[in-house]
Structure 1
C-alpha cells in the first residue's frame, strides 16, 4: 500500500500520469516566504538601526533570530510533515508567518522586532518541507522518479527570490519605510492560506494508527542546536556554559534517538548515508559565503559607498537577473557536481573582487560584482536540492529537507556573526576587505569539498 493510500488522500482532478500542477502555486509561494524575508533585511538593517539607535552588533540579532528559529524549526516541522501530512503544517505555519509580519509592523522597539523575526522563522519553516514531501508523494503516485521540471521550478523560485529580496526591500523602504518589509508578510500569508486550503490534499487516515511523535527527541535536538548557535552568535569564554549545555543535550539526544523505536532523526540511517551528510556540509559552507556576501555587500553599499537603501537595492538587482539566466540554462539538467564546482569557482572570484572596492569605486564595477554573485546563487542551491532528492529516505523527505535548510541557515548564522565581527561600528571598506579575506578561505574549502565528492557524478 502506498503512502498516499495510508494517508487516505482523496482523488484529485489530475491526470494520473502527470504531476498535479494545482499544487505548484501554494508550494512555490509558501517556500519563498523564508528567503524573501531573509534577503529583504540586507537593505533594511541600516534604517532599522537608525530608527532604534542600534549598532550593527545589535541589529545582527534580527538576522540571527530568524535563522536560529528556522534552523531548529525546519527539521522538527519537517518530521511532523512526514508523520501527519503537509496540509495541516503548511496552513499553521503560513498563518504564524502572517501574525509575525503584523507584530513586526507594529513593533515599538528593537527586541519586539527580534521576537517577530523568531516567530517568522518558525512560521516559514513549514512550507519547504511540505513542498518536498508533496513532490515525493506525487512521484510515487505518478510512478515517475521526479515530476518533470517541478523540482527545478521550486529551486529556481527560491534562489531567484533570495537575490530579488534586496531590490524589493529597497523599493518598499523607499515607498513607506522599513516597516513595509514586515507588513508585506500579511498579504503573502493570506495568499498562502487561501491557496493551501483550496489546493493542498487533505490527510484524513481511516483505520490507521496515528504515528508516534518523538517529542523528547525534538526537544533535545532543539536544546542542543540552540545552545551551540547562541555561542556562535557571541563567542566568548564567559559563555562557556553554552557549548557545555549543547554537548550535554546532544549526548542525550543521540542516546535517545539510538534507542527510540520511532526516532525523530534516525541516526543509524543518517550516519550510513555519507553522500547526504556531504550535501549538508556543502550547504553549510556555500551559504556561509553567500549570506555573508549578501549582507556585507548590501551594508557596505549604504555605509561605505554612501548610497541610499533604494539605490543599494537597485544596484544589487543584477544578482537575480543573472540567477534567472543561469537557472534557465541549467535547471532541467541534473549535473550536481559540475554545477557545484562552477558555482564554487565563481564564489571565489566574487569574494576576491570585494578586495577591489573602496568608497569611490565606479558604479560599473559594483554592477559587475553584483551580476557575478548571481551565478553561484543560481547553481549551488539547485544542485544541492537535486542531490538531496536522490539521496534522502523517501519516508523522511520532510525532515531531510528540513535538515538541508538547517544547514543553510547555520551558514547564515555564521555569516551574521562574521559581519558583526568585521563591522563592529559600521560597514567600512576596511571591514569589507577583512570579510573578503575570511570568505576566500570558506569558499576555497567549499570548492575542495565539491571537487572531492565523486558520488555526485553518479545518479
Structure 2
C-alpha cells in the first residue's frame, strides 16, 4: 500500500475542503492508519510465526481489497477513517510477513534482495503522488482508493503462486481457543497502548488548536501518561507481551536500530506529508503539478535502491546510513531557505536529497535489523521494526500539526525545516559515533 499512502499525501488538501476540516482534523486520515499499523504490525508478526506466513500474507491482501472497495463509498469522514483502519490492518499483514519471508528464505546477499523490494516500494512512491494528482484533478478523491483494487488482485495471484506453502502449524496453534489467542496477542497491552497513544495525540493536538492549555486537554494528556506507564508495567510482567520490552534490553543493537528508524521516518514523512500541503495551500500549486514535482522524490529513491544494495552487501549498513543522514540534513536546510518568491521547481532539490536518502535507508535500516535480530524472533522483530516506522510517521504528522497550526503558512513551514535540520544532524552524529563493536554489530 505505499501507492495509496503516497496518493493520500496529495489528497489531504482536497479532503480538507470536501469535509470542511482544519488541518488537525483531516490529519486523522494519517493518524488512524499509522496508529492501527503500529498496533497491528507486532500482532501480525506473532501470528505469522505461529500460524504461517503465507496464510497471513494472503489474508492481508483480501482485507486490503475489501477496504479499498468500501472506502470510496464512505458516507462521512468518520466512516472513511474506519475503512482506513481496516486497510492498515491488511497492509500490516503483508509488510511484516514480507520482511520475514526475505529473512528466512534468502540467506545470501540479503541487502541486494532488500534493494529489489525497495525498488518496488520506491516505484510506488514515485508514481503515487503523480497518479493521485491526476485522479483528483480529473475525477475526485475516491479514485485514489479504487485504483488499489487491480494492484491488490494481481498481487494475490502472484503471491498465491510464488510464496512457499506453510509448514503444518503446531498442535497448540490449531487448538488455540479465542481466550488463549487474546492472551497470546496480549489484548490488555494493546488496549493500554492504544489508549495511551490516542489520548496523548488528542491532548497535544487539542491544546495546539485551542491556542491555550485547557483543563480538558490537561486531563486527556494525563490519561495518556497514566496509560503509558501502565502499559510499560504490564509489558514487563506479561508472558507474551505485545511489545517485548525485555527483548529490547536483551538485544540492545535491535533497540538502537528501531530508535534510529523512528527518527528517520519523522524526517521523511514530515517532508512527504508537509510539502504537498505547503505547495497547494501556500503556493497554490494544483494537485496535478504537485504530483509531478513529487516524482523527483520517488525516482531518486528508485535509482538509489539498487546501488544501496550492492554497497551495503560490500561495506555493511553504517556508511550508507551516514551518507543518508547528511543528505537529509541538506534537504532539511534547503526547506529553511524557501520563501514566497522561490521558484517552485527549487523544491526538487530537497525532494531529491530526501529521495536518495530514502533509498539508502530502506535497504540500510532493514539490513541493520537483520544483523541485530536472531532468526528465531524475526517475525516479532519485523513487526516491532515497522511499529517504529509508524510511530515515526505519527510523530511527523503531530510535529506538522503543532508547528504549522490549523492552516499552512510559509513561516510555519520554515520553522518545520529548522526542526528537521536539527533531527537530521542528530542522526549524522549518532552514526559517526558508532564503532565496529557498536549497536549495528558490523563485522
**TM-score in same-fold range (> 0.5):** yes
Identify the range of structure 1 (425-434 vs 191-200) with the bigger mean alpha-carbon deviation: 191-200
Report if the CA contact (8 A) 2:235-2:242 is conserved: no
Q: Contact 1:73–1:125 at 8 Å: present in 2 too?
A: yes
Change in Cα spacing, 1:69 to 1:52, as seen in structure 2 (3 Å) is same
Instruction: Tell me how far apart the structure 1 counterparts of residues 154 and 317 of structure 2 sit (CA, whole Å).
Output: 33
Tell me how far apart the structure 2 counterparts of residues 224 and 432 of structure 1 sit (CA, whole Å): 34
Give the TM-score normalised by structure 2.
Answer: 0.89
Answer yes or no: is the 8 Å Cα contact 2:23–2:407 preserved in 1. Answer: yes
Corresponding residue to 1:197 among 148, 157, 160: 160
Q: How many residues align?
A: 418
Measured in 2, the distance between the counterparts of 1:263 and 1:296 equals: 35
- Cα separation, 1, equivalents of 2:170 and 2:428: 51
Residue among 65, 73, 86 paired with 2:32: 65
What is aligned with 1:14? none
CA contact (8 A) 2:294 2:351 kept: yes
Q: Which residue of 2 aligns with 1:13?
A: none
Supply the distance in 2 between the matched residues of 1:265 and 1:441 (Cα, whole angstroms).
29
1:158 is aligned, of 121, 130, 140, to: 121
CA 1:82/1:376 → structure 2, altered by over 3 Å: closer, same or farther? same
Aligned counterparts, 1:336-375, within 5 A: 336-375=317-356
Deviation at 1:160, TM superposition (A): 4.1
Report Cα offsets for 1:423-445 as digits up to 9, x if no partner: 32322111111211222222222
Partner of 1:389: 370
Query: 2:71 matched to which residue of 1?
Result: 104
Say whether 1:175 aligns with 2:138.
Answer: yes
Pick the aligned partner of 1:246 from 228, 240, 243: 228
CA shift at 1:209, angstroms? 4.8
Unpaired stretches in structure 1, ≥5 consecutive residues:
1-32
Q: In 2, distance between residues paired with 1:160 and 1:101?
A: 20
Larger displacement relative to structure 2 (294-303 or 448-457): 448-457
Q: Is the 8 A contact 2:33 2:88 kept in 1?
A: yes
Unaligned ranges ≥5, structure 2: 205-216
Residues 137-183 of structure 1: CA deviation (Å, up to 9, x unaligned): 314xxxx4445732221133224433542222212222321111111
Q: For residues 39-438 of structure 1, what are the structure 2 equivalents within 5 Å? A: 39-139=6-106, 144-146=107-109, 149-205=112-168, 209-210=172-173, 215-216=182-183, 217-234=185-202, 235=204, 236-239=217-220, 240-256=222-238, 260=239, 266-334=244-312, 335-438=316-419
- Residue of structure 2 in register with 1:3 after alignment: none
In the other structure, the counterpart of 2:210 is none
Distance 1:325 1:182 in 2: 27
Kept in 2, the 8 Å contact 1:224–1:247? The answer is no
Deviation, 1:207, is 7.6
Alpha-carbon separation, structure 2, partners of 1:339 and 1:232: 35
Moved more, 294-303 or 432-441: 432-441
- Tell whether the 8 Å contact from 1:227 to 1:243 is kept in structure 2 after alignment: no
Contact 2:45 2:97 (8 Å CA) reproduced: yes
Q: What whole-Å deviation, never above 9, does each CA across 1:230-278 have from its counterpart, x for those lacking one? A: 134232413111221222133112201xxx2x66655444312111100
RMSD in angstroms over aligned alpha carbons? 2.1
Question: Distance between the aligned counterparts of 1:452 and 1:219, measured in 2?
Answer: 39
Q: Find the counterpart in structure 2 of residue 448 from structure 1.
A: 429
- Give the distance between the partners of 2:432 and 2:168, measured in 1 at CA: 45
Q: Secondary structure at the match of 2:186?
A: helix
